[in-house]
Amino acid sequence: MTVAVISILALAVIVILGSIRNDLNIGIFALAFAYLIGFFLKGMSSSEVSVLFPSDLFLMLVGITLMSYISLLNGTLEKIAGLVILISKGKPQLMPLIIFGSAFFLSALGAGNIAATALVAPFAITLASKERLNIMLIIIMICTGANAGTFSPVATTGIINIGLMSKIGIDPDLMTTKIFLYAAFIQSLTAAAAYFIFKGYSSGKNKKSPDSIGDKYDLLNSKQWITLFAAVMLFAAVLFFHIPVGLASFTLASILFLLKIAPTEKVIREIPWGVILLVTGITVLIGMIERSGGMDLAATFIASNSSLTYINGLLAFVSGIFSVFSSSSGVVMPAIISLLPDLISKFGGGDISKMIIAVDVGSHMVDVSPLSILGAICLSVLPAGESKSVIFRKLLLWGLSMSFVGALLSLILLDRFFL
C-alpha cells in the first residue's frame, strides 16, 4: 500500500470518526495522522511537517472571530436580531422573508452561519410558534439565510474559503466577491422555493395570538453603535478596498479594546478555539496528502469516472452527501477544494471558479438537517408545544434532499449556464 493511499485512508478514517463521535475534535487526530505519516512514512522532520500549518488562515480566523465575539458579548448582534424580528410583527406573510434577510445580514456582516443562526433562531422560532406560522418554513429560512451570507469575506466560512483559495494558488481578490454573490443567489433560490412550497404567502390568514412577543425595543447604546460602525468598516475595507482580513480585523479589534467596547480577556476566552483547531488540523493533513501524492491519485480516479459536462453537479452532490455526516467548512471544503487544481489538470481544462462555487454551495445546502449544527440549534430551541421528533424527521428529509437540489442547480447554473 502506497503512502498516497494511506494518507487518503487516514482522512477517510477521520471523517468517519467525526461522524460517529461528536465529542471528539478530529482536528487533533488530523494533526496526529499528519505527523505519523510525515515522520515514519515520508522521512520528514517535525519542523518540516509544521511548515504545513496554515498560519495565514489561523491568523485570519482569530482576527475575524475577535470582531465577531466583541459584537456578541456586548449585545450588538442580539439587539440587531431583536430589531429585525420585531419589524416583522404584524406582517405574517413577510415574516419568513424578513427572518431570512436578518439571518443573511448578521451572517454576512461577520457573525457567520452558526452565530447568526444562534442569534436569530430563539426569537424567530418562538415568534413563529406564537403566531402559528409554519415552523419548518421558519427553520429553513433561518438556516438558508445564514448560509447565504456565510461566504462573505468577513464571515468565518468566507475566511476559510479565502485561505483555501490562497493555498491552491488562486488570488482571492479576484473571486471572493463573485463566490459570495453566486453562493448567496443559489441559496436564495432554495429559500424562495421553500416559501412557496410551505405557502408562506398565506401566513396572513393565521390569527395573531394575544401573547405575542412585545413591541418594546431598546436602542443600541454608544458602545454598540461603535461596534456596528466597526463591523461595517471591516466589511467595506475587505470587500471594496481589498485590505487583508487579518490586517483589518486585528486593527479594528485593537481599537475597540482600547475603547473598552468589550472585555478583552472574556472575548479571547470565548473564541471557538476548537473550531479553529479543527479547520487548521484538517488543512495540515490535506497538505500531507498533497505531499504524498494522494490528491493526484484522487483526481485521477474522479477524472476517469466523470466528465467536464457535469463535473460541477457531481462536486455539489458529493460535497452535500459528505457534509451530512461531517463539518461543511472544517472537513468537506478543505478536502475537496484542495483537490480541484489536480482535477483540472487531469481533465485538461475546466473553470475552477465554478468548481469552488459548486463545492461551497453543495456542502452548505444540507445544513438544514438536524445532524448539522444549524439544524440542531433550531431543533434545540423549539417551544414545548412543537413535536421535536416530527420536526427532526422533516428537517432530515429536507437536508438530504438538498444534496440532490444542490447538484441539480449546479448542473443547470454552472455546467450549462454560468450566471
98-156 pLDDT, tens digit each? 889 989 988 998 888 988 888 888 878 877 877 778 899 999 999 999 999 999 988 88
Residue ranges of the alpha helices (H) in 240-387? Answer: 245-258, 264-270, 273-292, 294-304, 311-325, 333-337, 340-347, 352-365, 373-380
Q: Which residue has the cell 429553513?
A: 140
How far apart CA 117 and CA 367 sit, in angstroms, is 11
How far apart CA 187 and CA 365 sit, in angstroms, is 7
301-338 pLDDT, tens digit each? 888 888 888 999 999 998 998 887 677 888 889 989 98
192-247 pLDDT, tens digit each? 999 999 988 776 554 444 444 445 557 889 999 999 999 889 888 887 888 888 89
Q: What pLDDT is recorded for position 42?
A: 93
- Beta-carbon contacts of 45 under 8 Å, excluding residues fewer than 6 positions away, are 39
392-412 pLDDT, tens digit each? 889 889 988 999 999 999 999
**Mean model confidence pLDDT for the chain:** 86
Distances (CA, A) of 198 to 203, 311, 364, 385, 406: 10, 32, 21, 20, 19
Q: Is the pTM of this model over 0.75?
A: yes
- Nearest CA-CA partner of 180 in 143, 211, 200, 155: 155
How far apart CA 165 and CA 181 sit, in angstroms, is 16
Does residue 82 have a pLDDT over 50? yes
Q: What pLDDT is recorded for position 406?
A: 92
